[in-house]
Chain A
């Protein structure tokens, strides 16, 4: 049975991650997990095995970084002579000089770590705002499409029509202009009196993302078979309840990967926040560059961090997609 092996790989991955507090042991465990995965071709159809492999890779990277750190920097009582001379010669390289100048002196790495925190903060809340806006806009637009025949004129229809038009303008404007321009308008024009840059960025990226999320969700709603809607209505549910109990739960499944993808897109998009002076990850790297007049290390470091984040979340999305597919039965 390959599920046993898949479970084993998953458990090894988890242990490897936990064992990272003892970097050597974690490293061995991670390598063991990867070898197990490589040796069992049949296991690759299993999501658990893939999660285990992913965890092992993460543990491997973490351990390598930790081991490098311990070997090169950590103060060790009675360190062996070969290690001390290794450190000596490493400290003398040009590479280390650059590294020290860009990241260690004046604790410059904090521009990157704090910037990363801001990037996550802005992205997280912008995604929440984007999803909220997107759901509302998608519901207004698709409810108007389905209800325009049922509502025979009257107040309700007028309100819905106005909302429908407002949502249409919102979609056109937001998707028709660059996000940087929207960001600057919100900061320099609309919120000219406020200096809360994080709030401005959350608003700008949330409002921007909402337009794209709305279309994703509308697609999801439309992908649900029309018969589902009719079945709900024929039982006596009204429009809103049919949507809530029957359509949205089904639409949600199909749009979940696309929504997670929107999060990945946004992480990268927030890198333009420097235009309004918000110190997120990219701006952090740029500040270091302007202090040290050396561009290579800070910018490559920023790029690597984005890349790792994107790879990590793309992996999560792919797992999610597989999970949803397998639950379709």
Chain B
């Protein structure tokens, strides 16, 4: 990766707010941060602190109440933005996988590339098989999601998003719904993805992952970014009191 690339901001968030019930609940309360190309940003914080809301705002699954989000130089919160085009460049992985149960793994992975990227069936399937091979599931292409274990489902969900060649990948607690013995296989896939240079924003409770793979850790509480630093600093030298208490609980 060139030094040039490393400094390029992909997503720029300014004063982002998301209110519910007419301002009664402030899920996001003025978030400002930049995400640069190739970064692996890990978002941590107690439950209800707004991590999911923040992540889901980035691809507009939640509509911000105020503030701006700029993606590759374009203000995506403006009404004229083509949301569907934007989302094609941001992959998202959910806590509960959300594979399409009525479609085979192959169809799950080829649907969007064929319909949205205009790939032919052969091209899409070739690519899907390559991605499946990378996560060791090439022999499950014809299976249905219900025939897979949780860890396998999540690995499929990751490569399904990758099949669209996104610029950024968003992860919302991808291992929280998994049995402990399956967490490792999913984190492994995410690690490889990070190594390959993918820009990632991960909400997770896996502190080991944050420490090992993250380039930056954001600690959120009450809809605000409380502290933001390298993993090294966050874990060995936390400044804010709330972060210190949080880390004591989870480590």
A246, B100: Cβ atoms closer than 8 Å: yes
A237, B102: Cβ atoms closer than 8 Å: no
Residues of B within 8 A of A (CB): 59, 61, 63, 79, 83-88, 90-92, 94, 96, 98-102, 111-112, 115-116, 144, 146-147, 160-161, 164
B112, A237: Cβ atoms closer than 8 Å: yes
A231, B100: Cβ atoms closer than 8 Å: yes
- Given A149-B63, A245-B115, A329-B147, A235 contacting B98 (CB threshold 8 A): no
Q: Which of A149, A236, A238, A249 has the most CB of B within 10 A?
A: A236
Closest-CB distance, B111 to chain A (whole angstroms) = 6
A235, B94: Cβ atoms closer than 8 Å: no
Q: Which of B59, B99, B100 contacts A234 (CB 8 A)?
A: B59
Q: Which of A227, A234, A241, A249 contacts B96 (CB 8 A)?
A: A227
Inside 8 A of B147's CB, which chain A residues have their CB? 329
A233 interface residue (CB < 8 Å to B): yes
A228 interface residue (CB < 8 Å to B): yes
B115, A150: Cβ atoms closer than 8 Å: no
- Given A230-B94, A231-B98, A250-B102, A236 contacting B112 (CB threshold 8 A): yes
A–B pairs, 17, beta carbons within 8 Å: A149-B63, A227-B94, A227-B98, A230-B61, A231-B92, A233-B84, A234-B91, A234-B92, A234-B161, A235-B112, A235-B161, A235-B164, A236-B112, A237-B116, A241-B115, A249-B102, A329-B144
Number of interface residues of A (CB under 8 A): 23
The 0/1 profile, CB within 8 Å of B marked 1, for residues 172-193 of chain A is 0000000000000000000000
Inside 8 A of B88's CB, which chain A residues have their CB? 235-236
Q: Which of A227, A237, A246 contacts B84 (CB 8 A)?
A: A237
The CA-CA distance from A228 to B99 in the complex, in Å, is 7
Inside 8 A of B59's CB, which chain A residues have their CB? 234
Closest-CB distance, A157 to chain B (whole angstroms) = 11
Q: Which of A234, A249, A250 contacts B87 (CB 8 A)?
A: A234
A4 interface residue (CB < 8 Å to B): no
Inside 8 A of B84's CB, which chain A residues have their CB? 233, 236-238
Inside 8 A of A230's CB, which chain B residues have their CB? 61, 94, 98
A236, B98: Cβ atoms closer than 8 Å: no
- Given A233-B87, A237-B116, A250 contacting B101 (CB threshold 8 A): yes
Inside 8 A of B85's CB, which chain A residues have their CB? 236
A152 interface residue (CB < 8 Å to B): yes
Closest-CB distance, A154 to chain B (whole angstroms) = 8
A253 interface residue (CB < 8 Å to B): yes
Inside 8 A of A228's CB, which chain B residues have their CB? 98, 100
The CA-CA distance from A229 to B59 in the complex, in Å, is 14
A236, B116: Cβ atoms closer than 8 Å: yes
B112, A150: Cβ atoms closer than 8 Å: no
Q: Which of B94, B102, B116, B161 has the most CB of A within 10 A?
A: B102
The 0/1 profile, CB within 8 Å of B marked 1, for residues 211-239 of chain A is 00000000000000101101111111110
The CA-CA distance from A225 to B87 in the complex, in Å, is 20
Inside 8 A of A329's CB, which chain B residues have their CB? 144, 146-147
The CA-CA distance from A241 to B112 in the complex, in Å, is 10
* 8 A Cβ contacts from A247-285 to B: 249-250, 253
